[in-house]
Chain A
Amino acid sequence: MKVTQLTVFLENRSGRLAEVADLLGREGINIRGFSTTEAAEYGIVRLIVAEPERARQILHDGGFTTHFSHVICVKVPDQPGGLAEVLDQLAEAGVSIDYLYSISFWNICFAVKDVDRAVELLKDRVTLLSDEEVRAL
């Protein structure tokens, strides 16, 4: 039960990540999960999408360098110790994890240099969560 992951190479220029999301959105490809590496001169975006082959073609045509790989997706019990239970089994077997991200996202979390400004920009357009709301999720 392997899952195909689409990886995209991105230079760290403002708007490039949005462009990836735009291209896929316009073509009706739903992003089920994603992660980005911390921004340096360049970075990697990892995507779990509905139609990986088509998504790859769309991004390729849009001038992006992409890569396919296989990852493992696990349903984690939504309770304290849920994640630990999965990780422990791998750790015991000596399997180390290269990277890990959550894909059941209706809520995303991201960092920018100027948090206040981003909040100002977004607050009337999307639903922002407060500290308390996140804790209560």
Chain B
Amino acid sequence: MNTRRSQGFERGAEGTPLREPREEHLSADAAGGLYWQPAAETLPTAQLGELQMERLQATLRNAYDNIPFYRKKLDDAGVAPEAVSCHGDVADLPFTTKIDLRDHYPFGMFARPRDQIVRVHASSGTTGNPTTVGYTRADIDTWGDLIARTLAAGGVKPGDLLQNAYGYGLFTGGLGLHFGAERLGCTVVPISGGNTERQLKIMRDFGATALACTPSYAMYLGDAARDRGLRPDDLPIRVGFHGAEPWTNELRLQIEAALGIEALDIYGLSEMGGPGVAFECLCKAGMHINEDHYMAEVIDPETLRPLPEGEVGELVFTTLSREAQPLIRYRTRDLCSITSEPCACGRTSARMSKPIGRSDDMLIIRGVNVFPSQIEEVLMSIPEIEPHYQIVVDRKGYLDIIEVWVEVGEDIFAETMGDLERFQRGVQAQIYNVLNIQVAVKLKEPKAIRRSEGKAVRVVDKRKAL
């Protein structure tokens, strides 16, 4: 299979090697999938470590020279970019948090002038301020390669037809998978999320061989297909790429049975550029971290000290190749463990476990990240609403639903059902505007929401692990 031209060794703006040469060929890995960039994906670990340090220094230099926030942070920490010369030094570097990103909204964390940014994505933020993600042309290319690695690891090759049911728009999932699949040479159907009837029709009529969507939606599609009498054999689809929300191996087996596919987990977060940070090979034994582009650590979220390999803690990433938005020790808040045990597929990268939880209160609702504080901000901006509310997360079938319970005080209560319904719809619309998520506002009698001593119980998550 010779599908790619070699582009030679590309260099970043400062003459620092930020990107690797493109590979000549897709080639088979040892697990039934394909390498997109065989040399990079099987780089011996010693060399990978050297490459990481080289790129880390370039990243620190980029951040220091071009982002006042990082210049100050590194100066305050007394760390010069060049002084970081081994992996042990990384622990001396300061952390970056989502709050830092929000504080520098919209473009304050970009290391390039706006006219060199070819795309901006964003994740929902608090009222008014989302978290922005910027990409240079080279960043988009790299991202495409990382997604191409992800898809190739599942056996996707040029000529495959990918039905991309991730949401398109500011969310990184839709366009991320889209560009990566095009880069790999697939036919992409940008169907985006929702409209199950149309999804199934197109899947069948177009002959989709690969699917990308959240795991819960994959299961929903699988059930819908079964309800319509479609057997797995009726759909040519072979492999699915499912991320953006936590899921279990039990759900994997169900999706695989319902759709007749290999269901693979993918991991990413918008702050790191989106999907393409880590992916499963067909061994399905943890997600390979693209360590040549992201340096991963697991820390104790309390002490902030790095944890020994294999222990569960908070995942922290430093970008190694991003031009537009280098991030140093970004705290993902996802809890997982990492192993560097060799994988049977032949990739040399370390693997992360599925995230088993969060070190903050973030909820993931149908693949969308929601902080209870975001809902609270909306509610508190509505003067009639009492300071008692509750967020109830549950699941109908495989899809998450979120209810916001609000007590009806005398300021809200009016004479007719119409007034109450208008109020309900108004609050729902305001939450949708900020969070881009449909909630059901439930009106409750005074004192119906349980008061608690100390920290109020704001969130009741009734979902069982999928």
Contact = CB atoms under 8 A, between A and B. Distances in A.
B417 A43 contact: yes
21 contacts: A9-B413, A9-B420, A9-B443, A10-B445, A11-B445, A16-B445, A40-B417, A42-B408, A42-B420, A44-B415, A44-B417, A63-B445, A65-B408, A65-B409, A65-B412, A65-B413, A66-B410, A67-B410, A67-B415, A69-B415, A98-B415
A100 B420 CA distance: 18
Contacts of A63: 445-447
A67 B414 contact: yes
Contacts of A10: 445
A120 interface: no
A42 to B, nearest CB: 5
A99 interface: yes
B396 to A, nearest CB: 16
B416 to A, nearest CB: 6
A88 to B, nearest CB: 24
Given A11-B448, A63-B446, A66-B410, 5 more contacts: A11-B445, A16-B445, A42-B443, A65-B445, A99-B416
A37 B416 CA distance: 9
A60 B383 CA distance: 21
Nearest to A41: B442
Interface string A1-40: 0000001011100001000000000000000000001001
Interface string A31-72: 000000100111110000000000000000001111101000
B157 to A, nearest CB: 52
B402 to A, nearest CB: 16
B444 interface: yes
A44 B444 contact: no
Contacts of B417: 37, 40, 43-44
Contacts of A66: 410, 413
B416 A98 contact: yes
A10 B413 CA distance: 11
A13 to B, nearest CB: 9
A65 B415 contact: no
Nearest to A38: B417
B281 to A, nearest CB: 48
Interface of A: 7, 9-11, 16, 37, 40-44, 63-67, 69, 98-99
A65 B446 contact: yes
Contacts of B413: 7, 9, 65-67
Interface of B: 408-410, 412-417, 420, 442-448
B445 A9 contact: yes
Contacts of A98: 415-416
Contact of A64 (B414, B420, B445): B445
A11 B446 CA distance: 10
Nearest to A70: B415
Nearest to A37: B417
A10 B408 CA distance: 9
Nearest to A60: B410
B415 A7 contact: yes
A69 B417 CA distance: 14
Nearest to A44: B417
B320 to A, nearest CB: 52
Contacts of B444: 11, 42
A98 B414 CA distance: 13
Nearest to A46: B415
Contacts of B416: 44, 98-99
Contacts of A44: 415-417, 420
A72 to B, nearest CB: 14
A41 B443 contact: yes
Nearest to B416: A98
A41 B406 CA distance: 13
A104 to B, nearest CB: 22
A16 B446 CA distance: 13
Contacts of A67: 410, 413-415
A47 to B, nearest CB: 13
Nearest to B412: A65
A6 to B, nearest CB: 11
Contacts of A37: 417
Nearest to A5: B415
Contacts of A43: 417
A66 B445 CA distance: 10
A9 to B, nearest CB: 5
Nearest to A7: B415
B446 A64 contact: yes
Contacts of B415: 7, 44, 67, 69, 98
A37 B420 CA distance: 12
B413 to A, nearest CB: 5
Contacts of B408: 9, 42, 65
Contacts of A9: 408, 413, 420, 443, 445
A63 B448 CA distance: 9
Nearest to B445: A11
A77 B12 CA distance: 91
Contacts of A41: 442-443
A70 to B, nearest CB: 10
A84 to B, nearest CB: 24
